[in-house]
Structure 1
Amino acid sequence: MGKWEMVRLGDISDLITKGTTPTTLGYSFQDAGINFIKIESIGETGELIPDKFQHISEECSQKLKRSILKENDILFSIAGALGRIAIVSAEILPANINQALAIIRISSEQVDLEYVTIALRSNYVFEQFQKQKQGVAQLNLSLKNIADITIPLPPMEVQRQIADVIDRASVLIEKRKAQIDKLDLLVKAQFIEMFGDPVTNPKGWEMIPLGEVATKIRSGLSRKLSSDDIGVPVIRSTNMINGQLDISDIKYWYLDDPQGADVPSYYLKDGDVLVNFINSNEHIGKVCIYKDMGRDCIYTTNIFVMNLNDQCNTTWFNQYAKTQAYKFRLNNIIQPAVNQSSFTTANYRKMLMLLPPISLQNQFATFVHRVEAQKSVLQQSLTKLEQNYKSLMQKCFRGDIF
C-alpha cells in the first residue's frame, strides 16, 4: 500500500492476547476491586467509561495474569462491536479484561502508539476484517487474525506527523458533533420552559388517554428483507434514532408481495408518527416522524404508524416521547419477555399523556423547526468533515502527503 513498508502487527508487538470470564475460574464479580473492562466499557470514539467497568478481586486478577493490563496497552474488541479501540491510561489501573477484548502491547521503538491506533481505525484495516469474514453473520477475530493485520510503517517522524494531522481533523469533527448536541439540549430546555416537567406537571395540563388524539394505529409487514433494492424501502426500528429517521442503512421488500399482502396499503406518508412497540426494554417505545424519502416506503411489523388529530402536534409529541414521564407510563403497559418486550395498541391508546393547548404546541414546533434548520446546516458540515477525514487518512497512509 503506497510507498511505506508494510508490517504485521505481530511483528511490532510483544503481546497479543485476550482475557476471559472470571466465572470460568469460579470467581464472581464484586462491588469494588480490580477494574474489569468489557466492550461496553469502551465508547465509540475510544474513551474508557469507568461507570461501565465491573470489578474483580486481586486473587481473581492474578489467576488471569496474562490479561493484566499495563499503561499504553491497546485494547481491541474482537467480537460483537468489532474493532472498538482504546489506549489504557495509568488512571484506570490495576485492570483486567474479558474474552471479547484483545490486548496489543507494542514493543518496537520504531512505532508511535497514536499512529498505530489511528491505523487500526482506518478503512484499510477494516477491509482486512471484511476479507476474513467470509460470509459469516458476525465475525469473531482470533488472535492470529489480529497478529496478521498489516499496516504501513513510515519513519517515526512521519508517523507522528500523520498522528498529529489526523488528531486535528478528529477534533474538528468532535467540535461539530458537540454543536449538534447543544442544539438538542436547547430543544429539551425549551420544552421544559414552555411545558414544565411532564412527570410533576407543575402547569396543571390536562391528562388524557393517548387514544383521544390518535386517529390511526397500524402495524407493518413481517418479512425477511433484502439488502438489494428489490422493490420498496422498508423502515425498521434500527432506522429510528433519537427521534430522527436515519436511512443510512436501509433494507427492501417486493412491491408485489409473494405472500399476498397489499404492499401499497402500507405506504408511509410524510409526517406519519412511527412507534416501535416490539424491542428490547432499552429501545421499546421510541418514536420518530417519517420524512418523505422521495419514493414509496413501507415499515416492519415491530413498528406501528400513528396519525394524530388536530389537538396534538406531531413535532410536540415526538419531543414528549423522549421525556421520563412518557417512558414511566410506557413501562406500565410493557409486557416483558426474555429477548424482546412489547405492548399492545389497545393499551397504548389507554396510556395517559398530558395535553397542553394546541396553540402552545404549535409555538414549540415552530421553535423546533428553526433549530432543525440550524442542525441541518451543521450536519451537512459534519458529513463533509467526515468525508474529508477518510480521504485524508487514505492519503496519509499511501504517502501522498508526507
Structure 2
Amino acid sequence: MSNETGCKVVSMKDIAIGNLEYGSGASAIEYDNKTRYVRITDIAESGKLNDKAVSPSIIENKYELKEGDLLFARSGATVGKTYLYNQTDGCCIYAGYLIRLVPNQKVIFPKYLYYFTKSSDYKLFVENNMRVVAQPNINAKQYGNLTIPLPPLEEQRRIADALDLASSLIEKRKKQIELLDTLAKSLFIEMFGDPVTNPMGWDICTINTVIDSLIAGWSINGEQRKLKEGEKAVLKVSAVTQGYFNENEYKVIDQKQKIKKYIYPQKGDLLFSRANTREMVGATCLIFKDYPDLILPDKLWKIRFVSSANMVYMKYVLSHQSIRNQLSNQSTGSSGSMYNVSMKKLKEIIIPLPPISLQTKFAEFVKSLENQKFLLQNGLEKLEMNYNALMQKYFL
C-alpha cells in the first residue's frame, strides 16, 4: 500500500520484531543505582526520562529495554506518549502501563519511527482510538494496526537527522529562556524566601483572602487543526503546562456547537490548571492580552487578585516547588489518570503576603526579564514553525 505521495505505507506490526508487548507488573522501589523502572510518569513531555528514578521490585530480563526499543503509553491522561530507549539511559525495565515495540532495524530506523509519533497523523490516531471507560486507553492491537509511511532506510535516516537538528535548536532556545526563569526564581527566594516555611516572617493568609474572582471554564470537544477566521477554539491544558501561555494549544470548536459558557483569557488573568498529571497539576501562567477566540475548558481556571496581591508575585508563589508539592499532595486521582485539585483545597493553602511595594518591585524586575524572554520566544516560535513544517513535509 502507498500514500498520496507514492511512499510505501505499512502497519506498526509489520515493522516490529515479534508482538507488541506489555511491561512488568512489579511495584516501584527506591532506586538501586543499577536498574531503572520506566513508568508512564517517568517519561517527560519532551520524550526523555525525568531526573528522579526508581527501581522495580522484581527484575525480569524479558522486560529489559534494548537500543531502539519504542515504548507507548497505553492508559491514562497521557495515552499515546512515547519514549525511544537509548543506552545512555542505563539499564531499564519498563512497566505494565507501557507497550514495547521492538523495531526491525533492517527496514526501519528507530529515530524515524519515534518522530512519526510526534506527527499530526499519529496525534489524530490517538484521539480516534482512545477507548474511554474510566480513563483513556489504547491497546497493543490498536497500536499494531497503526500505519506509517516507510521510505527507503537511507531516506529515513536523512529525515531523522533533519528533525534532530531542528529539535536541538529548539531545545537550545528553550534553555536560554529557562535561564531567565531561573534568575527570576532566584530573586524571588532572595527577596521573599520559601513561601511555605516563610523564613522572613511575612504576614500570612489563605489564598482565598487575596482572590478577587475565580472562574472555571467549560468542557467542550474540538478538532485538532488550525483556527480559521471567525471560529472559536477551546484551550488544552498544555496551553498552561510550561508556565507561560501557549496560544497555539487548542482544539477548534464546531461552529454548530452552542457555547454555553464563554470564558476566555483576558489581560491580567492568571490561568490555573486544576487537572493534569501529578507533576503538572497546579501549573499556572499569566495573560498579557485578551484572547476572545479561545475559551477556557473546565480543567483551567482564571483567577484575579485583590489590590494587596500583585499577580506576578502570586504567579511565582504558586509556581514555587514547595507550593506545587502541596497542590500535588492535595490533589485526588490515581496512577495513570489525571489528578484534580478542588477550588476549596486551593483556597485553603496558606501563603506569605509581603508589603505590596516589595511585590511590585519584584514584578518590575520580572517585567525586564520578560522583555528579554519575549524576544527569545519569538525566535523559539520561528524554530518551532520550521520544525512543524518539516513534520508536515515528511509525514503527510
Same fold (TM over 0.5): yes
Equivalent residue number for residue 17 of structure 2 = 14
Indicate how the Cα distance of structure 1 residues 290 and 190 shifts in structure 2: closer, same or farther if over 3 A, else same.
same
CA contact (8 A) 1:125 1:151 kept: no
Equivalent residue number for residue 46 of structure 1 = 47
Equivalent residue number for residue 58 of structure 2 = 57
Tell me the TM-score normalized by structure 1.
0.72
Distance in 2 (CA, whole Å) between partners of 1:57 and 1:297 is 48
CA-to-aligned-CA distance 1:12-44 (integer Å, 9 cap, x gap):
43223212443xxxx655555854432223333
Structure 2 unaligned segments of length 5 or more: list them.
none
**Bigger CA radius of gyration:** 1
CA-to-aligned-CA distance 1:157-179 (integer Å, 9 cap, x gap):
x4333332221111111111111
SS at match of 2:189: helix
Equivalent residue number for residue 310 of structure 1 = 307
Amino acid of the structure 2 residue aligned with 1:227:
G
SS at match of 1:76: strand
Distance in 1 (CA, whole Å) between partners of 2:295 and 2:195 is 32
CA contact (8 A) 1:243 1:319 kept: no
Equivalent residue number for residue 391 of structure 1 = 389
CA contact (8 A) 2:72 2:82 kept: yes
CA RMSD of aligned residues (A): 4.3
Equivalent residue number for residue 188 of structure 2 = 191
Equivalent residue number for residue 241 of structure 2 = 241
Q: How does 1:99-110 map to 2 (within 5 A)?
A: 99-108=97-106, 110=107
Equivalent residue number for residue 365 of structure 1 = 363
CA contact (8 A) 2:131 2:138 kept: no
CA-to-aligned-CA distance 1:293-312 (integer Å, 9 cap, x gap):
34387766776655434332
Tell me the TM-score normalized by structure 2.
0.73
Distance in 2 (CA, whole Å) between partners of 1:148 and 1:211 is 48
**Offset at residue 68 of structure 1 (A):** 4.2
**Offset at residue 277 of structure 1 (A):** 6.5
**Farther off after superposition, 174-183 or 203-212:** 203-212
Indicate how the Cα distance of structure 1 residues 69 and 147 shifts in structure 2: closer, same or farther if over 3 A, else same.
farther
**Offset at residue 340 of structure 1 (A):** 4.0
Indicate how the Cα distance of structure 1 residues 105 and 90 shifts in structure 2: closer, same or farther if over 3 A, else same.
farther
Structure 1 unaligned segments of length 5 or more: list them.
258-262
The count of corresponding residues between Structure 1 and Structure 2 is 373
Amino acid of the structure 1 residue aligned with 2:128:
K
Distance in 2 (CA, whole Å) between partners of 1:396 and 1:235 is 27
Distance in 1 (CA, whole Å) between partners of 2:300 and 2:94 is 41
Indicate how the Cα distance of structure 1 residues 245 and 118 shifts in structure 2: closer, same or farther if over 3 A, else same.
closer
Indicate how the Cα distance of structure 1 residues 118 and 370 shifts in structure 2: closer, same or farther if over 3 A, else same.
same
Q: Identical aligned pairs, as a percentage?
A: 27
**Offset at residue 154 of structure 1 (A):** 1.9
Q: How does 1:3-402 map to 2 (within 5 A)?
A: 4-22=7-25, 30-31=29-30, 35-49=36-50, 51-58=52-59, 61=60, 65=62, 67-80=63-76, 81-89=79-87, 92-93=90-91, 95-108=93-106, 110-126=107-123, 129=125, 133=128, 136-137=131-132, 138=136, 140-143=138-141, 145-146=143-144, 149-156=147-154, 158-208=155-205, 210=207, 213-214=210-211, 216-220=212-216, 224-227=219-222, 239-241=239-241, 243-247=243-247, 248-249=249-250, 254=258, 257=260, 270-274=267-271, 287-295=284-292, 306-324=303-321, 326=323, 340-344=340-344, 348=347, 352-396=350-394
**Offset at residue 276 of structure 1 (A):** 5.9
Distance in 1 (CA, whole Å) between partners of 2:175 and 2:186 is 16
CA contact (8 A) 2:29 2:54 kept: no
